[in-house]
Amino acid sequence: MGRYGLKPSRQSAFPEKPLGSTRRDSARSWIVLVLIATALVLYISSEQVQRTILSLIFPSETQFTHTRKTILQMTTAHISLTLGATLLSAVVGIVVGIAVTRKAGKDFQQLVLRLNSFIQTFPPSAVIILAFPVLGFGWKPALLALFLYSLFPILGNTVVGFQSVSPAVIDSAKGMGMTWFQQLWIAEFPQALPMIFTGIRHSYILNLGTAAIAAVIGGEGLGTIIISGLTLRNSALVLSGTIVISLLAFLGEQLFHMVSSGR
């Protein structure tokens, strides 16, 4: 627990690896990345592949594709919804996070953190579905709901990241005669970056799953095929959507992992 009951999200889908990037690790990371990406592209581009895999797992089902939309269309919509929300909340979260850790905005820090822990008690499905009575039907309400929900992990982590910058660093930056911006950009930001990065990664994974629920309020992502699978009692359709979402999650994790370890 942090100072204000805030728990920075540190979990990763990958176990922590020791620091120090050797060439072998780097090569392995690239191979994993390429493998996941290939699997993803192969799966979403060909109906034949989908049919083969799904019929292998669920031999008793007869329908393996959505009647109106292809997996490719749904994946594109899903990715744009997820990335759009994550990017929006990253930009807003980092800006607000920086603002409340400056001298002028420090007063709002507690308010932001309280709001953060308050919002986190809402289940993601509630946030998405509530967008319907408040904002209406369609992808815009879905995007807004995703944005609002994923904003707070990033914001919280940004605040914690900047709080954890050692005062000695700030002091020496001041002593070197750095301007306000230099102090922020050269001295503090690099130190806070790992925490911020963790927040963004957490938000991305969160959004990926939550965007599936967005299908019920008109956010047309992979949730469409999952929900039609649910209503038709067809596990194959559900699996089809799930495979893509899981691959997207692993792809994102791997990318974040490679960027953050500098490979």
**Contacting positions for another protein (CB under 8 A):** 1, 11, 13-15, 58, 60-61, 103-104, 106-108, 111, 114-115, 121-126, 129-130, 132-135, 137, 205, 208-210, 212-213, 216-217, 223, 226-227, 229-231, 233-239, 241-242, 245-246, 249-250
Closer of 18 and 133 to another protein (Cβ): 133
The angle, 0 to 180 degrees and rounded to 10, between the axes of the packed helices 223-231 and 235-260 is 150
In the complex, the smallest distance separating the C-beta of residue 143 from another protein, rounded to whole angstroms, is: 16
In the complex, the smallest distance separating the C-beta of residue 72 from another protein, rounded to whole angstroms, is: 19
* Per-residue 3-state assignment (H helix, E strand, C coil) for the chain: CCCCCCCCCCCCCCCCCCCCCCHHHHHHHHHHHHHHHHHHHHHHHCHHHHHHHHHHHCCCCCCCCCCCCCHHHHHHHHHHHHHHHHHHHHHHHHHHHHHHHCCCCHHHHHHHHHHHHHHHCCCHHHHHHHHHHHHCCCHHHHHHHHHHHHHHHHHHHHHHHHHCCCHHHHHHHHHCCCCHHHHHHHHHHHHHHHHHHHHHHHHHHHHHHHHHHHHHHCCCCCHHHHHHHHHCCCHHHHHHHHHHHHHHHHHHHHHHHHHHCCC
Closer of 193 and 230 to another protein (Cβ): 230
Closer of 8 and 193 to another protein (Cβ): 8
Question: What is the residue type of 179?
Answer: T
Closer of 160 and 205 to another protein (Cβ): 205
Question: From the centroid of its chain, how far is CA 111?
Answer: 24
In the complex, the smallest distance separating the C-beta of residue 23 from another protein, rounded to whole angstroms, is: 25
Question: What is the residue type of 170?
Answer: I
In the complex, the smallest distance separating the C-beta of residue 201 from another protein, rounded to whole angstroms, is: 12
In the complex, the smallest distance separating the C-beta of residue 190 from another protein, rounded to whole angstroms, is: 24
d(CA 154, CA 150): 7
In the complex, the smallest distance separating the C-beta of residue 213 from another protein, rounded to whole angstroms, is: 5
Closer of 158 and 240 to another protein (Cβ): 240
Closer of 104 and 168 to another protein (Cβ): 104
Closer of 11 and 22 to another protein (Cβ): 11
In the complex, the smallest distance separating the C-beta of residue 123 from another protein, rounded to whole angstroms, is: 2
